[in-house]
Amino acid sequence: MPIIVLKYGGSSIATTDNLVAVARQVIRCKASGEDPVVVVSAMGETTDHFLTMVDQITDHPGARELDMLLSVGERISIALLAMAINSEGPYEAVSLTGSQVGIITDTNHTRARIVEIRCARIHQVLEKGQIPIVAGFQGVSVEKEITTLGRGGSDTTAVALAASLGAVQCRILKDVDGVYTADPREVPNARIINQVDYTEMLEFSATGSKVIAADAVTLARQHNVDIGVGRTDTGAVGTIITSGDFTKGGVRGLNALRDLGAIKLGRQSDLSSSLSDLHAEGVIIRSLHSESTRPVILIDKKYVEPGGVYTDTLLSTEWGSRAYLYRRTFGRISAIGSGLEPGGKYFARLQAIIEENKITPRWYCCSSVRVSFCIIDSRVNELLYRLHHGLIES
């Protein structure tokens, strides 16, 4: 039977009722003539709960012990889902950790990279007519240590398994219908994009879309793995991520990041040390720009508020003492598609809409497939709506 990889995120299996519903869907998939290999994340807010406990114990947990702790969440999920499938019948499921599956990684704790997958164990399970339930987000290093794959690691696990097993498709099942032209909670007229190519999806992921992790998309492109994105409750796929011609679509979607703080460094030479210190504190760089020859770093606002890492720790560093912290909160809007390079058809239209709304953007970042810019956070919703109407609906 054709192998299909099914990946369920934490919200899809947040409760035992959810787990039973997913078990029945997996059983229907098996009964339809496909051989499902299931990858799951930790249930609901399990990982956040673990991290809260860590924060109550120490400000500097060791990366090895953090991986040991966080890998538990997925092990809970695979055991419960296997029990649910076995209880429903008529098929038997077998739960497998990352190390049991043979997901071999490098030695970078909390952000390991997969270097090899040894699929013999999964093939043995499939040959017995059983359903393998695999823990996402984790593996075992070449030094036989438990490792985790970082943000979106379960997506990466699923795509890597699909590539190694020669699966006909990797399905990422979530609480959304697929990839939208904008977040439908923010733009009521947003619509499903039926087909997205890898390059386009990478831009969606890089600019704030949480549908699928960028690392997983990169891996899919490398191995030509088709990804279907759809709803957990129905199993219906709304969007296919695949190879294709990116140049014909016009503006395909809009993304927004909100609540961003901006730090302007005192010197260009401060950039290396500032990025190193921010990375060491676990701060994600949302964007990097330049203003009057000085670097500008955009990070989540929480890090620059009183009590945040920047205010409490990094402000006293040599580079921090020279930096300027903007008082305003910014949002970043990104348009993805073709004709968005400066001078392109859609770039000109985008600029016209911005000017019509008397908004002054700053810190542009442009390429042939994407343009991003920052504005005052309070005006993001308004402009996002108007850009969607003018660039996509029209």
Domain finish residue from 244, 277, 302: 244
Are residue 211 and residue 266 in the same domain, yes or no?
no
Domain finish residue from 244, 266, 286: 244
Give me the residue label for tokens 């390079």.
341
Query: Residue 161 sits in which domain range?
Result: 3-244
CATH number at residue 116: 3.40.1160.10
Are residue 212 and residue 321 in the same domain, yes or no?
no
Are residue 129 and residue 259 in the same domain, yes or no?
no
Are residue 232 and residue 344 in the same domain, yes or no?
no
Are residue 255 and residue 234 in the same domain, yes or no?
no
Are residue 131 and residue 264 in the same domain, yes or no?
no
Are residue 238 and residue 255 in the same domain, yes or no?
no
* Domains of the chain: total: 2
What pLDDT tens digit does each residue of the chain (394 aa) get?
899 999 999 999 999 999 999 999 999 999 999 999 999 999 989 999 999 999 999 988 999 999 999 999 999 999 999 999 999 989 999 999 999 999 999 999 999 999 999 999 999 999 999 999 999 999 999 999 999 998 889 999 999 999 999 999 999 998 889 999 999 988 999 999 999 999 889 999 888 888 898 899 999 999 999 999 999 888 889 999 999 765 566 899 999 999 999 999 999 999 999 999 998 888 989 989 988 889 999 999 999 998 888 988 898 899 999 999 999 999 999 999 888 888 888 888 999 999 999 999 999 988 878 999 999 999 999 999 999 999 999 7
Are residue 178 and residue 254 in the same domain, yes or no?
no
CATH number at residue 379: 3.30.2130.10
Residue 143, amino acid: E
CA–CA separation, 8 and 44 (whole Å)? 11
Are residue 125 and residue 16 in the same domain, yes or no?
yes
Are residue 101 and residue 234 in the same domain, yes or no?
yes
Are residue 95 and residue 134 in the same domain, yes or no?
yes
Domain finish residue from 244, 269, 286: 244
Are residue 110 and residue 136 in the same domain, yes or no?
yes
Cβ burial, residue 35 (10 Å; 0-12/13-18/19+): buried
CA–CA separation, 59 and 64 (whole Å)? 15
- Entry pTM: 0.88
